[in-house]
Structure 1
Amino acid sequence: MTPDTMLKRITDYGSRADPYPLYAELRKTPVARQEDGTYVVSTYWEIHSLLHDPRISSDRRNLAGPWADPDIEEEDATLPPSMIRLDPPAHDRLRRQAMRPFGPPHSPEYVDSLRPELAGIVGGLIDGFEGKGQVDIVDDFAYPFPVTVICRILGVPREDEPRFRDWVDLLVSTLDLAAWDDPAERQRTAQRARLELGRFLGELVAARSRKPGDDMVSALVTGHGPDGPMSQLELISTAVLLLIAGHETTVNLITNGMLTLLRHPHVLERLRREPELAVGAVEELLRFEPPVHLLPQRVTLADIEIAGVLIPKGAPMTLVLGSGNRDPLRFDDPDRFDPERRDNQHLGFGSGIHTCFGAPLARLEGQIALVELARRLQNPRLVADPPPYRQNPVLRGPRHLLVEIDGIAP
């Protein structure tokens, strides 16, 4: 297999359950130009360097030369680009504005203050397993958990949560490109869902402007820091980003985590007896089975030489985080799951200015969820291994994770 066709094999659905042997092969050529002109980077230090390089753009409008795409502006005209698709200084301003009510330095205790509510949601979902001999960790637990959390954070009224979840389902379904026969229909569906969700969030913003609460939307509407307030469209775009990005990474973190623990029953038993192990276990899961495997559509703003390869200005790049996390030049015995691994500076949430905005919340959600699943599920057993996976090669995780149980502990 040649380096210029490796990405096709990796993104093929047949490789979804175990892409790691392909990653090992890919790392033999740290920077490989693909048939379509995309440069694929697969080794840890090269990925890390590029994520911190100001000459790398997250804005696809910077594609140039043979890669330029005149239709990019038309892809989604319903909302302005979110911060994840922008470069400094626009990215930095939006991120600072969003962080004021969400985390340090202005709100350092916010995420930890959610701990009791997160535990209550987790407990209620597991209570729903009562009387069942088989549960789907995805549909019955990992999927509803983060969307309920984000509804509470944004201040979505309880009576509107079902409608909100429907929009989430629709938007998430459009992320699986391979699941749609008609790309135009996928795009129309995504635009329609974003438009409806945007209208709903616009009404929520207007309501919180009139009568602020203790939620994040209220804080963004009323909290005017040095950068001033977000525009209403920027606020809606940020809320949609938090909803989709935060939801998908947490679903995969929990599902991949439970799958890995069931494959390593001695660690599952330790977590049941030693809940403090959860912090290290979640960090290792973010390395060993990360929620996001690929960062596609990065663009060079100048000619860049890396690992002996010259990548020209305006070229598209794909950074293979899942491969970098298993790079033996960075991690000892990288194919071993070790919840007590030291020096675990993984790429599970990316790195650099675009490090996952919601990482502190996702970590806490993962820790609470996995500890309670380990503690309360009695004799859990995988129904199928490997389980069926989602089509999406970027956000890699099981579509279903069926587990047989003998009951639940109180």
Structure 2
Amino acid sequence: MDKPAYLEFDPDSRSVRLDPHEASFVQDPYPAYAFLHASCPVFFWENFGLWCLAGYDEVNRTFRDRRFGRERPGGYMANVLATGDRSHLADFDRAEAGSMLELEPPVHTRLRTLVNRAFVSRQVERLRPRAERLAHELIDRFERDGEADLIPDFATPLPATIIAEMMGLPAETGPQLVAWSNDMVRMYMHAPTREIAEQANASARAFSAFIRHHAEERRRTPGDDLLSVLTAAHESGEKLSEDELVSSAILLLNAGHEATVHQTGNAIRAILWQGGDPRRFFSTPEATAATVEECLRFDAPLHMFTRYAYEDVEIAPGIQLRSGEQVALLLGAANNDPAAFELPREFNPSRADQKNVSFGAGIHFCIGAPLARLEMQAALKVLFERLPAIRLAEEPRYRDIYHFHGLERLVCRW
């Protein structure tokens, strides 16, 4: 496998220099992943200062290995404060510190149990008619124009509206929730600037105030929604502190749309690249489900997730991770590992080896996976049935925001 010109590799130290902002890599990371699979699927990424796992088996196994976890040893706040002056991120850190995504049992178990019931498959299936109806409503708005950017006009409002409604928040607040979320997740990109950090903090502060305001309303008039569940748990005085309530609500709102927006855009691009009538991928419910799974594997919305080692662990022969150190799991690479998938860069919904890790695995398996799958099944099927002649109006470009992998624009015509 040829080495991309922008990648430097030292086989002796298993060290890689690869700028995650390199334009060629941002637009198509898969040639780099292919080289790493062939040369060194466990490597030290100098730009991040982390050992990385690119192989499917290694990533899947580490997700499930309880010697690794999301929670920083010593706690979130102790760790971030040890990195230097974080006063400009005080509101962001407060919102993140109570997130179940950053915690391990028993606290993680307590928080996840509170909201899990709303996201199990049988509950989520009730939302399919709403998702289909919303997809039709969105297409109604732009169908006559003959052209639209499907990221803001379709991929974003559908999951943002549904998660807002599940939380019991006004659907018209969706664009503001998306804006706050976008600002906050930029903190996960490589080397965020001070300007990005300050904007993330301002958005976290506004987002937190918004949740506290609506939680106060739920105390007075509870409803049949997730925010009411969280508020009741806080009121019990045992299950949820106020900071945990705010963090949990922000996490659900952010995670409830962010990755789905990216994945929907990536999926539309991938399907249109195949040419022909896109409706062939959605001829039956089974075909629709298989197509969505292949979209999740083929061009995942999240390419890096990290774990802390809770003891000294050998992650590969001769590579020792010390307790407290991080390891990066490269989901986009794992989903395209030729050792796990036959012809991984071929789009094949009927493949027998479908086992993507786009939602993670183990106790942190994405709680919203059933919802994301349903939203994509509904949205894509309706889109291509309504607009079978749809085509790309320009070559879509990906945003420069590794770990996330999603399009800046997706302008289509029909």
- TM-score, normalization by structure 1: 0.88
Contact 1:261 1:267 in 2 (8 A): no
2:159 is aligned with 1:146 = yes
Question: After alignment, is 17-26 or 310-319 more displaced?
Answer: 310-319
CA deviation string 1:280-311 (max 9, x = no partner) = 01111111111111113x22111111221222
Listed as ranges, the matches of 1:258-337 within 5 Å are 258-266=268-276, 268-271=278-281, 273-274=283-284, 276-296=286-306, 298-308=307-317, 309-337=319-347
Query: Could you tell me which of 41, 44, 59 is aligned with 1:30?
Result: 41
Query: Could you tell me which of 202, 216, 226 is aligned with 1:216?
Result: 226
1:229 CA drift (Å): 3.1
1:179 CA drift (Å): 9.0
Question: Match for residue 4 of structure 2?
Answer: none
CA distance in 2, matches of 1:394, 1:267: 32
Question: Match for residue 71 of structure 2?
Answer: 59
Question: After alignment, is 115-124 or 27-36 more displaced?
Answer: 27-36
Query: Could you tell me which of 126, 139, 142 is aligned with 1:113?
Result: 126
Contact 2:183 2:199 in 1 (8 A): no
2:143 is aligned with 1:126 = no
Contact 1:38 1:318 in 2 (8 A): yes
Contact 2:304 2:329 in 1 (8 A): yes
Q: Structure 2: which amino acid aligns with 1:257?
A: A
Contact 1:176 1:391 in 2 (8 A): no
CA distance in 2, matches of 1:214, 1:269: 37
Query: Could you tell me which of 186, 211, 235 is aligned with 1:176?
Result: 186
- Change over 3 Å in CA distance of 1:182–1:264 after alignment to 2: closer
Question: Match for residue 2 of structure 1?
Answer: 9
Instruction: Output the aligned Cα RMSD.
Output: 2.8
Contact 2:294 2:354 in 1 (8 A): yes
2:366 is aligned with 1:356 = yes
Contact 2:180 2:204 in 1 (8 A): no
Listed as ranges, the matches of 1:380-395 within 5 Å are 380-385=390-395, 387-395=396-404
Contact 2:184 2:204 in 1 (8 A): no
Q: Structure 2: which amino acid aligns with 1:304?
A: V
Q: Percent identity?
A: 34
CA distance in 2, matches of 1:138, 1:184: 27
1:183 CA drift (Å): 2.2
Q: Structure 1: which amino acid aligns with 2:71?
A: D
Q: Structure 2: which amino acid aligns with 1:47?
A: V
- Change over 3 Å in CA distance of 1:207–1:15 after alignment to 2: same
1:121 CA drift (Å): 1.1
Query: Could you tell me which of 4, 7, 13 is aligned with 2:23?
Result: 13
CA distance in 2, matches of 1:378, 1:389: 24
Question: Match for residue 155 of structure 1?
Answer: 168
Equivalent residue pairs, number:
394
- Change over 3 Å in CA distance of 1:62–1:15 after alignment to 2: farther
Question: Match for residue 78 of structure 1?
Answer: 94
Q: Structure 2: which amino acid aligns with 1:191?
A: N
Gaps of at least 5 residues in structure 1 are: 406-410
1:167 CA drift (Å): 4.1
Question: Match for residue 91 of structure 1?
Answer: 108
Contact 1:325 1:346 in 2 (8 A): yes
CA distance in 2, matches of 1:191, 1:38: 26
- Change over 3 Å in CA distance of 1:130–1:232 after alignment to 2: same
2:62 is aligned with 1:46 = no
SS of the equivalent of 1:403 reads strand
Question: After alignment, is 142-151 or 229-238 more displaced?
Answer: 229-238
1:363 CA drift (Å): 0.3
- Change over 3 Å in CA distance of 1:360–1:319 after alignment to 2: same
Question: Match for residue 206 of structure 1?
Answer: 216
Q: Structure 1: which amino acid aligns with 2:104?
A: D
- Change over 3 Å in CA distance of 1:246–1:12 after alignment to 2: farther
1:77 CA drift (Å): 3.8
Q: Structure 2: which amino acid aligns with 1:284?
A: E
1:184 CA drift (Å): 2.3
Contact 2:265 2:410 in 1 (8 A): yes
- Change over 3 Å in CA distance of 1:8–1:61 after alignment to 2: farther
1:227 CA drift (Å): 11
1:267 CA drift (Å): 6.7
SS of the equivalent of 2:125 reads helix
Contact 2:392 2:412 in 1 (8 A): yes
1:177 CA drift (Å): 5.6
SS of the equivalent of 1:322 reads helix
Question: After alignment, is 313-322 or 394-403 more displaced?
Answer: 313-322
Contact 1:97 1:230 in 2 (8 A): no
SS of the equivalent of 2:160 reads helix
